[in-house]
Structure 1
């Protein structure tokens, strides 16, 4: 069989919340909400060592500590950008990867390509003047292509709703 290529164009939605809260406050709240202290390498250990569904579920549920998500990792862009540009006033910028394999499986069971967008990411970006923070993420329901699969669409929308609840909780807001 010869190699083939297909291209699907689609439009996603990027969501930005802006808050007067300081970057350090927002990052501390987010890290607590996704249980950073228990996440990271522990997530990968559970995923790599669980011998059955029950062990995997128990391990992930322990790491989420009653929440929807657990911390996977982060990339602090401001750190390397300060080095690269030599600009010490570079706004703090951290991209967090967080998620829940038990939620991810609700989409991956329909289409493994959904794994391109789970676990999700979220960026915290300090305002240039240091006064406040932006919380930025791409809406998974607009990125995970359901191809007409109603169950996959519902699962992606459920993930989007959970992320919005997480963000609003971190910002001390409620859904309208």
Structure 2
């Protein structure tokens, strides 16, 4: 294999879906009440905080009850309507650098899937759903027990948040 030949590493993701009796708007509100309504500018923090301890302290001030913070949102529902799809759909990126480091210290390529993504959907029956891909199913592609443990801990935290906001 030459340097220009890519290495392909197949893996399989596990999609997790939580149904909710809450309306789409109620689900969005419940999630944002936990992770914050405004995106946190974590990329700006390293410029202002030069040590890990000062950075960590700043990050901790933005963490929601579940241990996550809001990074950004994409309102798919706003543009898919133009193509004739009448659904409320919001892609939400949440995370926590203090959780991410527990995985990235074992394999920096785990950063492809940290932060995590959620998809909130208004369902036709009036309820809603929250879907994500189980982080450990994406991050762990080689035999790496330390990464597996850290990623599985993230799975648990994410499942707890999903159960909480969809209840």
Find the counterpart in structure 2 of residue 117 from structure 1. 113
Stretches of structure 1 lacking an aligned partner (at least 5 in a row): none
Find the counterpart in structure 2 of residue 105 from structure 1. 101
Tell me which moved more, 116-125 or 57-66: 57-66
For residues 27 and 137 of structure 1, the distance between their equivalents in structure 2, rounded to whole angstroms, comes to: 15
Task: Give the deviation of 1:12 after TM superposition.
Answer: 1.2
- State whether structure 2 residue 71 is matched by structure 1 residue 75: no
> How many residues matched?
166
Find the counterpart in structure 2 of residue 36 from structure 1. 37
Find the counterpart in structure 2 of residue 143 from structure 1. 138
For residues 65 and 136 of structure 1, the distance between their equivalents in structure 2, rounded to whole angstroms, comes to: 20
Contact 1:43–1:63 under 8 Å retained in 2 = no
Task: Output one character per residue of 1:130-171: Cα deviation in whole Å (capped at 9) or x when no partner.
Answer: x10010000001111252111100000000110000011112
Contact 2:37–2:70 under 8 Å retained in 1 = yes
For residues 41 and 20 of structure 1, the distance between their equivalents in structure 2, rounded to whole angstroms, comes to: 29
Aligned-CA RMSD value: 1.6
Stretches of structure 2 lacking an aligned partner (at least 5 in a row): none
For residues 94 and 15 of structure 2, the distance between their equivalents in structure 1, rounded to whole angstroms, comes to: 17
Q: What is the aligned counterpart of 2:148 among 150, 153, 157?
A: 153
